[in-house]
Amino acid sequence: MGRTYFVEEAIGQYLSDLSTKFKPYVTGLLIGQCSSQRDYVIRAVRTPPKEEQKEGNTSPSKLESIDEEWITAHASQVSRMLPGGLLVLGVFIIATPELSKDSQNALRKIIFSIEKSLTKRRLWKPAEEEVSDRAALQVCSATKKIVCRTYDVQDPKSSAKPADWKYQSALSASWLSLDCTVNVNIHIPLLATSPNHDLEKNTKNGLHRWSKQIEDSVFLINGQVKDDDTELLEGQKKLRGNTQYSTQISDIKVLTQLSQGSSHRSTATVQVCSGSINLKGAVKCRAYVHNNKPKVKEAVQALKRDIINTLNDRCEILFEDLVINEGPHKKNFERVYHVLPQRLFVPFAGSSVMLSDYKFGDEAAVEIQERFVEMLDQSVQDEDIHIAEELNTVDICPVIENTDDTQQKQLTKATLLMKLQQNMGVVIAAAVFAFFLKS
């Protein structure tokens, strides 16, 4: 028996509109949530046109010309804009009848390409029982006939399995959000033997270790540790009228020093280091689960992944920004302090779900609006952009190398501590080279 996808009704109209605008075919992503019982699709997003296609709404006439790399890059960018619990769970193609017979093969290649790209970036491992099927939706632009199949992305030899595609009204409004703030204080040593002290690689390695701490953390929901198989809404008060539960759970605490696993006792080691990378600040995290009797395990897993993803994504965005604006050589020693981008949330019409994005301090609202149009095919008003984290101005004195002035060292250390304490509203990525300050 194949999977069943419950789909937001408005997606049907969106796909219909695309079929009249783009010829002979158009591709895109399906966004939603997988669970062992049901799969939900709350959004479809067309692949943004390349520069040469922007003049006219046309695509190359043959499916062989589909740019798999371009679609995969789009999926990677969109995945950064999804809060916990939501993912790119499939792809679609709307094609003319003469192209339809080859569409499924094209979709299969794209699905596996996207999964390979997203897996490479993840800092967490999928659970054994996790759904690994991804949807391939084929729509005929002439007859509007829909064919939905799935592929198991954990099996490279996976063949297509039939799936049901069922539209449902107000699906996007039936979601429960979980919000928390996580204080981050990650110290990543730079080994003296590490070649070139590549900041990006070392940061990634440090985040890998930190992500394991998050995955082993204990989560308090409304002050309690709840059993994994308990219903998340058990004991929750309903809203006035007793028709529905509150759509947000904010009282969530993350205890990173406690572990639920049976990990072995760690052994202390002494390593010669020539510097360090420090990530310090407070990050706003959010996850969504459908309110059809969600389990505690599903909600906590979604929130854990959002915590890990949001910090990893910010670091990736920072390094990409450094390469674009300052050249690859700037990734190593040139700058001492960087402010990671802030997180923001934007709602989309008719939904209780908010999508995510990141902005640097000097980034204008119009740039964010343009990004939402390009990546998610959505217009955003200024008032719809909700900055989740407070931005504080930081003016930090650079560390002075090879000085014997003890007073200067103490002053510099005091200044750093004071400035970092003032900046707990955003995450600071601090790379301190050459030596450690000592009292």
Q: Write phi, then psi, for 356 (nearest 5 degrees).
A: -115, 160
Residues 168 and 179 both lie in one domain: no
Mean pLDDT (the chain) is 80
Residue 155 lies in a domain: yes
Residues 206 and 193 both lie in one domain: yes
The CATH number covering residue 20 comes to 3.40.140.10
Task: Determine the average pLDDT of the residues in 135-143.
Answer: 94
Q: Which amino acid is at 109?
A: K
Confidence of residue 436 (pLDDT cuts 50, 70, 90): very low
Tokens of 94: 């709307």
**Cα–Cα dist 223/226, whole Å:** 9
Q: Which residues contact 259 (CB under 8 A, 6 or more apart)?
A: 216, 217, 218
Name the more confident of 432 and 354. Answer: 354
Residues 166 and 209 both lie in one domain: no
**Cα–Cα dist 165/28, whole Å:** 16
pLDDT at 31 > cutoff 80: yes
Residue 149 lies in a domain: yes
Residues 130 and 203 both lie in one domain: no
Q: Cα dist. 407→111, 413, 435 in Å?
A: 60, 10, 16
pLDDT tens, position by position, 266-282: 567 777 777 777 888 88
pLDDT at 248 > cutoff 90: no
The answer to whether 355 and 81 are in contact (CB under 8 A) is yes
Residue 108 lies in a domain: yes
Residues 199 and 335 both lie in one domain: yes
**Cα–Cα dist 249/221, whole Å:** 8
The answer to whether 25 and 94 are in contact (CB under 8 A) is yes
Q: Which amino acid is at 228?
A: D
Q: So what's the pLDDT on residue 28? A: 97
Among residues 179, 172, 98, the alpha carbon closest in space to that of 142 is found at: 98
Among 172, 207, 230, residue at a domain's last position? 172
Task: Determine the average pLDDT of the residues in 288-302.
Answer: 90
pLDDT at 201 > cutoff 60: yes
Q: So what's the pLDDT on residue 271? A: 74
Lowest mean pLDDT among 35-39, 41-45, 254-258, 396-400: 396-400
pLDDT tens, position by position, 144-196: 999 999 999 999 999 999 999 999 988 888 899 999 999 888 888 877 676 55
Report the interhelical angle of 296-326 vs 68-80 (nearest 10°). Answer: 120
Q: So what's the pLDDT on residue 236? A: 65
pLDDT tens, position by position, 57-102: 555 667 877 899 999 999 999 999 999 999 999 999 999 988 878 8
Among 131, 146, 172, residue at a domain's last position? 172
**Cα–Cα dist 280/339, whole Å:** 10
Residues 45 and 121 both lie in one domain: yes
Structural domain harbouring 26: 4-172
Lowest mean pLDDT among 77-91, 237-251, 334-348, 354-368: 237-251
Among 115, 145, 172, residue at a domain's last position? 172
Q: So what's the pLDDT on residue 149? A: 96
The answer to whether 284 and 387 are in contact (CB under 8 A) is no
**Cα–Cα dist 339/391, whole Å:** 10
The answer to whether 6 and 39 are in contact (CB under 8 A) is yes
Q: So what's the pLDDT on residue 2? A: 84
Q: So what's the pLDDT on residue 150? A: 96
Q: So what's the pLDDT on residue 439? A: 31
Among residues 330, 331, 332, 358, the alpha carbon closest in space to that of 344 is found at: 358
Among residues 127, 80, 107, the alpha carbon closest in space to that of 316 is found at: 80
Confidence of residue 14 (pLDDT cuts 50, 70, 90): very high
The answer to whether 7 and 166 are in contact (CB under 8 A) is yes
Residues 216 and 145 both lie in one domain: no
The answer to whether 391 and 424 are in contact (CB under 8 A) is no
Residues 158 and 181 both lie in one domain: no
Q: So what's the pLDDT on residue 61? A: 64
Residue 410 lies in a domain: yes
Residues 268 and 285 both lie in one domain: yes
Q: Write phi, then psi, for 38 (nearest 5 degrees).
A: -140, 155
Residues 223 and 147 both lie in one domain: no
Confidence of residue 392 (pLDDT cuts 50, 70, 90): very low
Residue 361 lies in a domain: no
**Cα–Cα dist 332/319, whole Å:** 10
Among residues 322, 306, 180, 196, the alpha carbon closest in space to that of 255 is found at: 180
Name the more confident of 412 and 131. Answer: 131
Exposed/middle/buried for residue 195 (C-beta within 10 Å: 0-12, 13-18, 19+):
exposed
* Domain count of the fold of the chain: 2
Confidence of residue 259 (pLDDT cuts 50, 70, 90): low
Q: What is the C-alpha end-to-end distance of the chain, expressed in Å?
A: 67
Residue 246 lies in a domain: yes
Name the more confident of 114 and 292. Answer: 114
Confidence of residue 257 (pLDDT cuts 50, 70, 90): low
Residues 144 and 265 both lie in one domain: no
Residue 31 lies in a domain: yes
Residues 188 and 165 both lie in one domain: no
Q: What does the radius of gyration of the chain's CA atoms come to, in whole angstroms? A: 24
Residue 347 lies in a domain: no
